[in-house]
Structure 1
Amino acid sequence: MTEGEATTNGQKTEAAESQDTEMKIIRQVEYYFGDYNLPRDKFLQEEIKNDDGWITLETMIKFKRLAALSTDISVILAALKKSTSGIIEVHENNEKIRRSASHPLPIFNDELKEETMKRTIYCKGFAKDGSVKLDDLLEYFKQYGPYETVLMRHYFDKESKKQGFKGSVLVVFPTVEKAKEFKELDDVKYKNTYLLRKWHEDYVEEKKKEIEERKARKEARKKKEEKEDNENKEEEAAEIEIPKGTFLYFSGLKEGSEAAREDIKESLGEFADQCAWIDFSRGMTKGYIRFKEEDFNKQVMEKLEGKLKVKDMDAELRLVDGEEEEEQLKKMKEARSRARNNAGKKRKSGRGGHFPNKKRKC
């Protein structure tokens, strides 16, 4: 290869790069002033009110994506003058541009939003690792064009305080027919990954339904928790009215015996069904029995003549009253409160638990 050939080849490469840059400048500026963006761009909407729609190129080169292509006003002007769409009009002083009066701007209202949605396709399946750039997508969708715009869908990560790509885009086509052509293609792949395609309208309805179902489940959980809280409050209120004269104290069992609460209850015979609580653990020599009805302890005491036969052991009974009775009522309420709290924690966490040496009802 001669030096002349290398120079010629170099010039061809530079010319191709220059042409590519010009096409990107045209595409970007026409996007800014296009049917999709301009009606929605609050900044540009305010700017075009000031000078009969004209905006200086000094202002335009402050836009990031245009500035990334070139900040040389002469380069931008040269590119725009080669545009064949007729959307952009260059002022005679070569210092400002505007959307051509021959292309009336759509009125941004609910009708426009609805009409735009009907020609928009939702596409999912792009990598979320940051490797996909907007320029890549704009170039990729050319084969299915023309299109008005490609919108990357982002989310905000609260922890990193950065935006992330959801892996999905919205492609706005100029007509419903063009959108339908793309939607009805058999297979659409991006770098060997098949893309999921839906009408944007259908996607929005699906998400709306998911949100409503999620909200309904949340409301159901809330109502269930409120019901359980109310039931607990009712139980607490009922406990305030717990009758007195319901406790018996027993003692005299052998230390370390195998007697259990079930054995204590069985020894009550005909009164077992009236047993509400037994405060006793295996191996102990004494404990407390609570009955359901007021002054029932006296009936049991009289009937059993102050004796309780537990397995092969004779236990002594006595009535519980005064400060001792108040203390037992307090212990019983605290035990019930702990049981309710533990049950509430299990409901909320979805996990069970084990509570050693827990007193229980008969």
Structure 2
Amino acid sequence: MVLDATTKDRIEFYFSDSNLPRDKFLSERVAADPEGYVDIALLCIFTRVAALLKSNVREVAGVKEETVADVADALEGSSELAISEDRKRVKRAVALKAADEVSREVDSRSIYASPFPFDATLDALSDFFRQHGEVRCVRMRRHLTSKDFKGSVFVELASEAEAEKVRGLSLVYEGAPLSMEPKLAYIQRKEAERKSRPGAAPAGGVPAAPAAAPTAGRKRRAEGEPEGGQRGGDGGAAAAAAAAAEEGGEAAEVEVGEYEPGCVVAFDFGEAEFAEAPTFGLIKDTFGGRHDGGVQYVDYQQGGKVGHVRFDTAVHATKALEGAADGKMMVAGYSAAVRVLEGEEEEAYMKA
């Protein structure tokens, strides 16, 4: 079977700066190999590659050697990928840069565009923009809860110059003139609008919490609890004791019971600008969930810049940070500094 360039393009995209930092599954496979190789047979069962191969095989064991050889032939000569000597594995030709650096570069060559019909498809939108520029990726923006398309997209072009060229065009999609601006400018504008709303945080600060319940604004979610729900039990009692002490002007003395040290991971988004605020679900999935990753609680105020994840064991907490580089990793689609709490800091957290 002779494969066309589309198969090569698709696999190059999987390993690209545009996709790999956001693709938890593939990133884990890359990290699991000392040289960063991934089996071509595994890529052959990815939905879009399988469609290009006209294959119904959904298990790696079922992928034929001839198919692997055909894909290897299609990837031959790629400037972005390298094939192993046995021609059964593939990796990036150049190692991925630090996550925050990649994120900055991707954002700098991306534009925001709207409006589009709510029934538009990714393929249709990608084909449309490819008529006007060298497109690396189109990301459809969706509502956090319903996942319905918002009618707007982020389009990543090949370079900042290409993004500027496309943004300067007067494009019309199905009769509607498009509004386009640099992605970073869009994010800054939306953040400014958010801060100007009544009740928003003052410049350089955080929203004021009610004096009678200083810990009430912190949301902790266990697997299976309603999103945004308060954790009950001892945590509620500790919060009530702290609130009572605050009202009386005295510091609360809280006894912390026995706990396994090294089970709490702190994450900090720093100066990240959220196009869409991270959710409990995305954060939980980043750290492996309850069943696979041992996540017990996600302690995070949606839209905030810091939070904590508590694991059932220190082993799970350590394993969750295996993909971190220089103390940073992608959390819910954004670069964040991550670390395991230790010593007095950990004890203070457990008391809280």
Tell me the TM-score normalized by structure 1.
0.47
Name the one with the larger helix percent. 1
Higher Cα Rg: structure 1 or 2?
A: 1
Compare relative contact order (CA 8 Å, sep 6+) and give the higher one, 1 or 2: 2
Tell me the TM-score normalized by structure 2.
0.49
